[in-house]
């Protein structure tokens, strides 16, 4: 959400003089200044400022970025930072993010302008990653401190951090250590400098001693406030993800546009049906099209009533609800083959209100092009004139309608606007089917479908398919054709080892999405030792990234050895160990996830195009957005929107969406909210000199796993 602001000739000194204020003094109430709800990010192209920008982007918080390496960039002077509007002095930015405590040359006019701006309007400054030194309120690391790797170190939120911006955490801030061959962190640990007004918020033990050193802390000096961060990070690393919310809340003093929550939803596909099983000898799945026709014997995996009991008990213990995507024909076939008996369906229907339910089509048929499976890989069949032969509108519609009717007869609590097609079929699928089945959209309209599940590994964004909006889902690397850990590992080895190691070579052919294992995993220990922790880390990373997209597994993973639960427990138990009770996992159904994603996209487009204005004057926030654009904001508990409470409680604040009719929306902050215009009467001091260049190790990139889907 970047926006360039044109500079003006007005200086802070001239502004202060025009208001009759002494130099170095903030404008005092009752004539409170206007503070625009926008963040200034001064970037050096490093991962730390990029990470903070990504956090603001995801939350929907507007910011302006100035790239120090870009030729022709705006000059950061008084006119760039402040002016007057309607007779009020205006601060254009509510917070400043710098790559370190002073990225400019010694005696820089730009740093002096920033310091004067921060003093005048009490604007907080974040030093995204800086060297520990007295100019940042800390002792040099050589004075009883430490500089080096923190891989695997368990940092801690201090009492001041818990009482302040990081109160949503339980206390621990573990640093990642994902590979012994990669340095994943670098930090400076040291104590506050003698006489410095410095409060550590997050610290860690100094190696080789009994003392602790600051990693994140607040330095108050010269009438300014700085959040000093002395470890490097990128936007994907867990240590940053845990602290990102607190960094934003600190620099905005808890009042900003945008919102952030931690989401987790899990869809279980193919319920009532059976999933074909991976053959560890043939290295394919008999009954599916990845096996040559006629090879192997299908041995489907299907849940039992005991598996339902386990799922119900697990949900109760985790305070979590699974979404079951069902295929009614699976039960119909079971009853036909067993004199009307289907104990699994009987148990699931008896416990139907314990789950959420999604239409997954009646028979799980492929609803795209007609498949020619006489060759591997399969291809789209063609018509006599050479065109693509498509599954008909009637066939697609019947699959949707028949499953809905079956579910309604069974009393399943459905939302008929939701649909997930088998294998996400009907939607475009490269390379065989590069476009949607043209009959899909009309069939969705025939059945009132407005939310359609899609595969996030194929399409990461939402789009329209006739009347429906897609909801991208993350495939979990727990395979549909595995009910036992040994089967999962065998197939995992086939996918993720080279041909020389006995694998398929898929990882060699697709290095952009897969990384080959150095050696095959043990079928007895590889699942628990490698796959579970890796998948847990990936999925927990999504949860910590304000990402509401659902994940999906299959009913086979809840059957037999129930191999999904170690991953699900890893995510949820790991989360509970990190977060306070007022920051729970948000568990939404698919429709509500779709609404959240769509609102965000509309909001982002309005912000990026400059159609949103927002500012604070005293205890009143005013936001204006185009008609039809819902407004999102975060504020202290007790904030009012008109006569009603604003938002819902989360992480010690309130946040949410409020409708906009194109007219200004005002939010009344509770009395006692920290005032951005609070008077600052400390003596002005010259800006500090430039920070020494700090070491920035290579960051860790998130990889999207290859996951076969059925």
What is the per-residue pLDDT across 554-578, written as a single tens digit (0 to 9) for each? 999 999 999 999 999 999 999 999 9
Which whole number is the average pLDDT over 145-158?
97
Q: Estimate to the nearest angstrom the gap between the alpha carbon of 63 and the chain centroid.
A: 19
Percent residues over pLDDT 90 in the chain: 85
SS3 523: coil
Ordered structural domains, the chain, with CATH: 12-253 (3.40.50), 266-590 (3.20.20.370), 591-668 (no CATH)
Which whole number is the average pLDDT over 366-373?
96
Question: How many Cβ atoms sit within 10 Å of the Cβ of residue 86?
Answer: 7
Q: For the chain, what is the total number of helices (H) and then of strands (E)?
A: 17, 33
| Cα separations in angstroms, 133 against 77, 282, 543, 694 | 26, 62, 35, 12
Which whole number is the average pLDDT over 445-451?
98
Q: What does the mean pLDDT of the chain come to?
A: 91
User: Has residue 705 got a pLDDT over 50?
Assistant: no
Neighbour-count burial of 708, counting CB atoms closer than 10 A to its CB (0-12 exposed, 13-18 middle, 19+ buried): middle
User: Has residue 505 got a pLDDT over 60?
Assistant: yes
Neighbour-count burial of 524, counting CB atoms closer than 10 A to its CB (0-12 exposed, 13-18 middle, 19+ buried): exposed
- Secondary structure, 3-state, 83-148: EEECCEEEECCCEEEECCCCCCCCCCHHHHHHHHHHHHHCCCEEECCCCCCHHHCECCCCCCCEEE
pLDDT: which is higher, 269 or 659: 269
SS3 381: coil
Which whole number is the average pLDDT over 37-51?
97
Q: What is the helix (H) or strand (E) element at residue 509, kind and residue range?
A: helix 506-509
Q: Is the backbone of residue 258 left (phi > 0), alpha (psi -120 to 50) or beta?
A: left
Q: pTM, whole model, 2 decimals?
A: 0.91
Token pair, residue 55, equals 């956090």
| Cα separations in angstroms, 519 against 494, 513, 530 | 11, 18, 12
User: Has residue 162 got a pLDDT over 60?
Assistant: yes
């Amino acid at each position: 959400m970047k926006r360039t602001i044109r500079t003006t000739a007005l200086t802070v000194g001239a502004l202060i003089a025009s208001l009759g204020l002494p130099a170095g003094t903030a404008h005092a109430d009752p004539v409170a200044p206007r503070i625009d709800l926008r963040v200034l990010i001064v970037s050096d192209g490093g991962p730390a400022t990029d990470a903070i920008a990504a956090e603001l982007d995801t939350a929907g918080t507007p910011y302006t970025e100035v790239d120090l390496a870009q030729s022709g960039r705006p000059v950061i002077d008084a006119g760039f930072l402040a002016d007057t509007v309607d007779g009020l002095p205006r601060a254009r930015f509510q917070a400043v993010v710098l790559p370190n405590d002073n990225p400019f040359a010694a005696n820089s006019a730009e740093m002096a302008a920033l310091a004067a701006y921060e003093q005048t309007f009490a604007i907080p400054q974040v030093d995204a990653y800086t060297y520990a030194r007295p100019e940042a309120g800390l002792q040099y690391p050589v004075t009883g401190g430490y500089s080096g790797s923190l891989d695997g170190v368990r940092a801690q939120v201090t009492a001041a951090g818990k009482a302040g911006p990081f109160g949503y955490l339980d206390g621990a801030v573990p640093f990642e250590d994902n590979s012994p061959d990669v340095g994943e962190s670098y930090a400076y640990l040291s104590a506050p400098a003698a006489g410095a007004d410095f409060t550590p918020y997050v610290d860690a033990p100094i190696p080789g001693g009994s003392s602790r050193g600051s990693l994140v802390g607040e330095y108050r000096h010269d009438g300014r406030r700085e959040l000093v961060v002395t470890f490097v990070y990128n936007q994907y690393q867990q240590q940053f993800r845990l602290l990102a919310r607190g960094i934003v809340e600190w620099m905005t003093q808890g009042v900003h546009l945008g919102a952030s929550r931690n989401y987790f939803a899990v869809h279980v596909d193919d319920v009532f049906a059976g999933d074909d099983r991976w053959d560890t000898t043939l290295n394919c799945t008999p009954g599916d099209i990845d096996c040559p026709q006629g090879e192997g014997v299908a041995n489907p995996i299907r849940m039992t009533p005991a598996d339902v009991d386990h799922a119900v008990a697990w949900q109760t213990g985790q305070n979590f609800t699974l979404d079951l995507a069902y295929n009614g024909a699976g039960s119909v076939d079971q009853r036909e083959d067993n004199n009307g008996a289907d104990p699994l369906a009987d148990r699931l229907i008896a416990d139907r209100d314990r789950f959420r339910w999604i239409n997954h089509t009646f028979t799980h048929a492929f609803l795209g092009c007609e498949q020619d499976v006489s060759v591997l890989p399969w291809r789209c069949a063609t018509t006599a004139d050479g065109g693509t032969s498509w599954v008909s509108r009637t066939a697609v519609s019947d699959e949707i309608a028949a499953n809905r009717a079956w579910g309604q007869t069974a009393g399943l609590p459905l939302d008929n606007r939701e649909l997930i097609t088998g294998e996400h079929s009907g939607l475009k699928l490269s390379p065989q089917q590069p476009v949607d089945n043209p009959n899909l959209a009309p069939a969705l309209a025939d059945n009132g479908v407005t939310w359609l599940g899609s595969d996030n590994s194929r399409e990461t964004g939402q789009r329209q398919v006739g009347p429906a909006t897609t909801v991208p889902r993350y495939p979990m690397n727990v395979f549909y054709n595995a009910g036992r850990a040994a089967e999962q590992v065998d197939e995992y080895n086939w996918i993720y080892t080279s041909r020389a190691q006995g694998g398929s070579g898929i990882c060699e052919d697709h290095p952009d999405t897969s990384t080959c294992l150095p050696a095959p995993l043990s079928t007895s220990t590889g699942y628990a030792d490698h796959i579970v922790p890796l998948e847990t880390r990936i999925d927990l990373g999504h949860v910590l990234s304000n990402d509401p997209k659902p994940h999906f597994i299959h009913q086979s993973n809840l059957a037999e050895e129930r191999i999904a639960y170690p991953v699900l427990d890893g995510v949820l138990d790991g989360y509970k160990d990190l977060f306070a009770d007022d920051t729970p996992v948000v568990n939404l159904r698919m429709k509500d996830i779709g609404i959240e994603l769509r609102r965000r996209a509309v909001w982002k487009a309005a912000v990026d195009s400059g159609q949103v204005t927002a500012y604070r004057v005293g205890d009143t926030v005013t936001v204006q957005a185009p008609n039809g654009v819902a407004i999102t904001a975060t504020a202290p508990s007790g904030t009012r929107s008109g006569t009603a409470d604003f938002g819902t409680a989360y992480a010690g604040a309130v946040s949410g969406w409020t409708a906009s009719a194109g007219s200004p929306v005002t939010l009344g902050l509770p009395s006692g909210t920290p005032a951005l215009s609070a008077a600052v009467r400390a003596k002005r001091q010259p800006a500090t000199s430039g920070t020494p260049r700090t070491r920035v190790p290579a960051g860790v990139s998130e990889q999207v796993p290859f996951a076969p889907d059925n």
